[in-house]
Amino acid sequence: MHTPLTEHDPARETLGTLAAPVPPLTETIPALSAYEAFSANASLYAIAVVDTVRRPVGILNRFKFLEQLSRPYGRELALRQAVSSFMDASPLVVDEELSLDELSTMLVGDDSRYIFDGFIVTHDGGYLGIGTGYSLIRRLTERKHAALFHMAHHDSLTGLPNRQLFSAQLTESLAHAQQHGQHVGVLYVDLDRFKAVNDSYGHLVGDLLLQSVAMRLRGAVRAGDAVARLSGDEFAVVLNQLNAEEHADTVAAHLLSVIRQPHSLDGHEAHISCSIGIAVYPGDATSQGALLRAADAAVYHAKRFRNTFQRYSRDLLQGHAVGLQSYGSVKRAVEEGHLSVYYQPQVDTRTGALYGVEALVRWTDRERGLQSTPELIRLAEDSGLISEVTNLVLEQAMTQVVAWTTQGLIKDLTLAVNISSVELRDGHLVPMIERHIAATGFIPGHLELEITESTAMLSGRTAGALLTALTSMGIHLSIDDFGTGYSSLSRLRRLPVHAVKIDRTFVEDIEHRQSGALAQAIILMAHSLGLSVTGEGVETERQWDFLEANGCDRVQGYLISRPLPAHEMTAFLNTSTFTPLSHRR
Ligand code: C2E
Ligand code: MG
Ligand code: MG
């Protein structure tokens, strides 16, 4: 079996391994023998002195011994004396079973003399070898390095290798497989909806669940296979010595069922499933990088269905076009907080007074810079991460608006947050909003959720109930990108919405075709249903004038301000408090 990068367990190490088997001297032997032994070996530091049955009676320290010989009486004479007259007769004698840790405590705690003098290690009371403080310190340092190595390469929660060690293990596996003409399978294992478990049971249970998953994964593969935790709820498995590529599928199916079994954690029974992406060397890719990308593309697809595995195929890559961000990178962006919220003001059309801000998520990738928001949203929706994006936006934006209010910069500002259709179907939204309201002290009546027109129209009965639940909490709803979908007026009337936002394309028409007929119609219709209207994408004075003339309630767009990061929005609020946007009036 080929076990890559093995490590030993240093905690069990005893003195037996440390003792140097230096030949001892019998107590009656002339000191000349000791002198010869020390002269022959410059690094010999101490020699044990034993009785006739090899029981230690003393220790000769190199430097003390040589010093005594240099005293002003005949060296010749001295060398004929028995070694016992030079030895330290109360040596430190320890049993080989003593652990290194216990010994070092003794040496330091008692009398540091022994660190310099050396000590004698025995087995059943008989001489076994000699140890010195120096060798002990060196060994302890090596162990510390080993422990640091372990810490740097393992995840402290699950004890599994981390991404770095995993990639070293994979390198070894691939080299080995290449030599022996074998297959290697790489499985990316991603837990489904782990965030939800974490949120509903708390982090402690979440951690227990990750540990339980780690143990099951480790237990479900062969000892020669590698299991690692890459980040949060993302694991990876390397299957070594696969006889056939299909065996990777068999293992994946097994892992799915193993993870699906209920986990009993600290009195809770938790259920979780996972999604697995598979890539096999050399069939799917021959380089390590390409193999990992293939597994990533595969898990991205598996994630759409959840609780399933997906083997890589070239077709997958078509949808996962080159240049686009991968699922893994979106996930890391969410987890590592590379997402931030920008704010775009919405103002009263007539007075120019600030009405609210729309929160728009921004993704700044460390290497590639600012990424496209629509692309981020699409990837997040496809891979089940959208609820985490919303969670992050709500948390940041509510905290920020509360802070602005506390600072006296704003009063009664409406915060608009975009919600995806996917979220109208899963049950997370209401508890999530409730949690953030409780945590930040945000006033529910100041929250407006924007759902797109197509979402509002398509959503079924559960979504309708959800919207009603939201409005009964005092939250306002508006229909985003209005005019682009196919709204049924009767349906629109029955939805508990408060406002519509005229899509930017109609506002553009005002400028370019000099005909705002559609915008005009939308405003009339919305008002007749008792809804207020916001014009989106207002870039020119002319558009603003037209919208104002037609009774549009609010405007939003680059003319007023681009979406701004929090600190710039703070500056915007500072100036607009004193010079309201009505400056254009
Ligand atoms: P949206 O909700 O209709 O947001 C308005 C978009 O128009 C924003 O693009 C904004 O930057 C842009 N915009 C604002 N004023 C002007 C203007 O005067 N001219 C032009 N040309 N564009 C303007 P952004 O931020 O890229 O967002 C695109 C879409 O992504 C949003 O459309 C929304 O549907 C979605 N989105 C943004 N943030 C989130 C979020 O946190 N969650 C969800 N689920 N979706 C979001
Ligand atoms: Mg919007
Ligand atoms: Mg819009």
pLDDT at 488: 65
Which residues line ligand 1 at a C-beta cut-off of 6 Å?
A: 344, 360-361, 373-374, 377, 389-390, 393, 418-420, 450, 480-481, 504, 536-539, 557-558, 563
Radius of gyration of the CA atoms of the chain, in A: 37
- The continuous run of DSSP H or E covering 241 comes out as strand 234-242
Tokens representing 407 are: 């600072």
Taking CA 176 as the corner, what is the angle to CA 311 and CA 178, rounded to the nearest 5 degrees?
65
User: What is the CA(450)–ligand 2 centre distance, in A?
Assistant: 6
341-396 pLDDT, tens digit per residue, is 999 999 999 999 999 999 999 998 877 788 889 888 888 887 778 888 999 999 99
pLDDT at 34: 93
User: What is the CA(480)–ligand 3 centre distance, in A?
Assistant: 5
User: What is the CA(479)–ligand 2 centre distance, in A?
Assistant: 8
Query: Whose CA is closest to 251, among 193, 189, 306, 305?
Result: 189
- Collapsing DSSP to helix, strand or coil, 447 comes out as strand
Q: Encode 63-106 in three state secondary structure.
A: HHHHHHHCCCCCHHHHHHCEHHHCCECCCCEEECCCEHHHHHHH
Tokens representing 444 are: 């529910």
- Whether 484 contacts 519, CB under 8 Å: no
User: What is the CA(346)–ligand 2 centre distance, in A?
Assistant: 11
Give the closest ligand to the alpha carbon of residue 358. 2
448 vs 501: CA distance, rounded Å: 12
From the alpha carbon of 420, which atom of ligand 1 is closest? 44
Q: Whose CA is nearest to atom 19 of ligand 1?
A: 537
By most ligand atoms within 8 Å of CB, the mutation choice from 398, 418, 510 for ligand 1 is: 418
User: What is the CA(482)–ligand 3 centre distance, in A?
Assistant: 8
Say if strands 339-348 and 309-311 run parallel, antiparallel, or are unpaired: unpaired
pLDDT at 3: 36
User: What is the CA(583)–ligand 3 centre distance, in A?
Assistant: 26
- Domains for the chain: give ranges and CATH numbers: 10-141 (3.10.580.10), 162-319 (3.30.70.270), 328-575 (3.20.20.450)
- Whether 260 contacts 273, CB under 8 Å: yes
Give the closest ligand to the alpha carbon of residue 537. 1
Tokens representing 276 are: 């697995």
- Whether 170 contacts 220, CB under 8 Å: no
From the alpha carbon of 423, which atom of ligand 1 is closest? 44
Q: How many CA atoms lie within 13 A of 553 on its CB side?
A: 17
Q: Whose CA is nearest to atom 43 of ligand 1?
A: 418
pLDDT at 459: 57
> Which parts of the chain sit beneath pLDDT 70?
1-12, 72-73, 108-113, 317-326, 457-462, 485-489, 513-515, 576-585
pLDDT at 512: 74
Q: Where are the alpha helices (DSSP H) in 385-540?
A: 386-406, 429-440, 453-458, 461-472, 489-494, 504-512, 517-528
By most ligand atoms within 8 Å of CB, the mutation choice from 361, 363, 373, 428 for ligand 1 is: 373
470 vs 376: CA distance, rounded Å: 26
Give the closest ligand to the alpha carbon of residue 360. 1
pLDDT at 30: 93
User: What is the CA(344)–ligand 1 centre distance, in A?
Assistant: 9
493-547 pLDDT, tens digit per residue, is 778 899 999 999 889 888 776 668 888 888 988 898 899 999 999 999 999 999 9
Tokens representing 399 are: 């905290």
